[in-house]
Amino acid sequence: MSTIRVKKSDPPESKEVLASAIVKISKALEDLQRSGLNEEAIIVLLRDKTKVGKRDIQIIFNGLRRMKGWYCK
């Protein structure tokens, strides 16, 4: 497993930049779902390449779907 390091930006990103990024992520997920592959197919492909469990991928998809509502009001 690789190590992930988070670098803090100096100064921190503005709320507007973060909100814009969250909206873009939400749009990307919608585009992926409209790509012609159903969610189960996307999960199988991700699981095959990443070795991440199906349940974990489903939890991430659920979080991505709800993230815009959680953070962009």
Residues 30-72 pLDDT 10s: 898 888 888 899 999 999 999 999 999 999 999 988 988 888 8
CA distances from 17 to 3, 23, 30, 60, 73 (A): 26, 10, 20, 22, 14
Considering only residues 1 and 68, tell me which one the structure prediction assigns the higher pLDDT: 68
**Predicted pLDDT at 56:** 95
DSSP run (H or E) holding 71 = helix 54-71
pTM of this prediction? 0.69
Average pLDDT of 7-17?
78
**Predicted pLDDT at 72:** 84
